[in-house]
C-alpha cells in the first residue's frame, strides 16, 4: 500500500451531477450531460429495485440490461427463519411477490432482465455467473457506449482484479459502483483505482451509512462507498472538487433512519 492510497479517492470537479433512481439506497449520482451519448445501461445487482433503470429510460429512451441471479434464491429466506428474523423474512417475501408484478412492466421501459450475475470468469453450478467479456460478447456491447452500474456485495473484486477487464472499459461513459468490505480489500482497491484512472476519473463519492467505518492511518474510512467514475474525455480540465461530502441537495443516506457519514479521509 502506498502512503497516498486514500488520496486516490478525492473526487474531481465536474458540472452536471444529479441524483438518479431511488431517494435512498439504490440511487446514484450521475453525470447527466454525458447520458445523451449512452447506448445502454448495463446494471449488475438489481435487488428488486428498478427505479434507476426507469429514470434512465425516461431521460435517454435507451435500453437496459439488468443482471441479477439472486432474486429467486430462497436460501436467504430460510436463513432468516432459522435465525428468527421474521421481519426480514416477511420483507423478502413481499419483495419477491411484488417483483413478479414489476417484471411485467419492464418491457415498457426497455429493461431486459437477465437471471445471471458477474464474476471474474464464467462459472457453473448454483446460479449463472459470467465474466464481463462474455456478457459484452453475448449482447454485442463491444462498440456500444454504456453506463456500467455494479452493486454485487463484494463480488466486484474478482472482476476488477483481472487486468484484461480494463481493456473493455473504453466505451463505459460512466461506471457507478458500490465498493464493499473496504478494510479487507485495500490492496485490491489500490490496484483497481490505479488501473481505472488510466481511462476514468472519480467525480463523486458517498458512503453507505449502514455498515460502519474503520480507522486507517488516523483516518475514519467507511466500510462501503458509492462511487461515480466518468470517462476522462469528459474532463478536459481536471481539478479537484472543493465540495464537502455528503453534498447537501445531492446526496441522501442509504438508510434514512441513520445520519449520513461525513467524508474527508481522502484529504491530506
Write the DSSP string, 47-93. Answer: TT--HHHHHHHHHH---EEEE-S-TT-THHHHHHHHTT-HHHHHHHH
- Give the integer Cα–Cα distance in Å for 127 and 137: 20
- C-alpha distances out from residue 33 to 18, 37, 261, Å: 10, 8, 28
- Give the integer Cα–Cα distance in Å for 33 and 19: 13
For position 5, what pLDDT does the model report?
Answer: 87
Question: What residue ranges do the domains of the chain occupy?
Answer: 5-234
Residue 255's Cβ-side half-sphere holds a number of Cα atoms within 13 Å equal to 10
For position 157, what pLDDT does the model report?
Answer: 95
Taking 90 as the threshold, does the pLDDT of residue 97 lie above it? no
For position 86, what pLDDT does the model report?
Answer: 65
- Can you name the residues that pair with 112 across neighbouring β-strands? 65
Closest CA to 146 of 43, 12, 19, 16: 43
DSSP conformation class of 266: T
pLDDT (mean) for 174-190: 96
pTM: 0.93
| Structure-model confidence comparison of residues 30 and 209, the more confident one | 30
Burial 63-101 (b: 16+ CB within 10 A, else e): bbbbbbbbeeeeeeeeebeeeeeeeebeebeeeeeebee
For position 3, what pLDDT does the model report?
Answer: 59
CATH 3.40.50 fits 5-234, yes or no: yes
Weakest-pLDDT range from 71-85, 190-204, 229-243: 71-85
Amino acid at each position: 500500500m502506498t502512503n497516498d492510497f486514500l488520496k486516490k479517492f478525492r473526487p474531481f470537479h465536474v458540472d452536471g451531477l444529479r441524483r438518479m433512481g431511488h431517494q435512498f439506497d439504490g440511487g446514484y449520482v450521475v453525470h447527466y450531460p454525458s447520458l445523451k451519448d449512452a447506448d445502454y445501461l448495463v446494471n449488475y445487482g438489481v435487488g428488486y429495485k428498478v427505479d434507476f433503470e426507469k429514470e434512465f429510460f425516461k431521460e435517454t429512451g435507451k435500453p437496459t440490461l439488468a443482471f441479477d441471479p439472486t432474486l429467486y434464491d430462497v436460501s436467504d429466506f430460510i436463513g432468516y427463519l432459522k435465525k428468527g428474523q421474521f421481519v426480514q423474512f416477511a420483507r423478502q417475501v413481499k419483495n419477491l411477490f411484488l417483483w413478479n408484478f414489476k417484471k411485467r412492466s419492464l418491457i415498457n421501459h426497455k429493461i431486459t432482465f437477465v437471471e445471471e450475475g458477474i464474476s471474474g470468469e464464467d462459472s457453473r453450478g448454483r446460479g449463472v455467473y459470467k465474466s464481463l467479456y462474455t456478457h459484452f460478447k453475448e449482447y454485442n456491447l463491444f462498440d456500444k457506449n454504456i453506463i456500467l452500474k455494479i452493486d454485487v456485495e463484494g463480488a466486484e473484486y474478482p472482476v476488477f482484479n483481472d487486468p484484461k477487464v480494463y481493456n473493455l472499459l473504453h466505451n463505459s461513459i460512466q461506471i457507478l459502483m458500490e465498493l464493499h468490505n473496504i478494510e479487507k480489500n485495500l490492496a485490491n482497491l489500490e490496484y483497481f483505482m490505479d488501473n481505472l484512472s488510466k481511462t476514468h476519473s472519480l467525480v463523486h463519492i458517498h458512503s453507505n451509512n449502514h455498515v460502519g467505518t474503520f480507522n486507517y492511518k488516523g483516518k475514519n474510512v467507511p466500510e462501503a462507498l458509492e462511487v461515480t467514475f466518468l470517462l476522462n474525455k469528459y474532463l478536459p480540465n481536471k481539478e479537484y472538487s472543493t465540495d464537502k461530502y455528503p453534498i447537501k441537495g445531492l446526496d441522501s443516506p442509504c438508510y434514512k433512519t441513520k445520519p449520513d457519514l461525513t467524508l474527508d479521509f481522502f484529504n491530506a
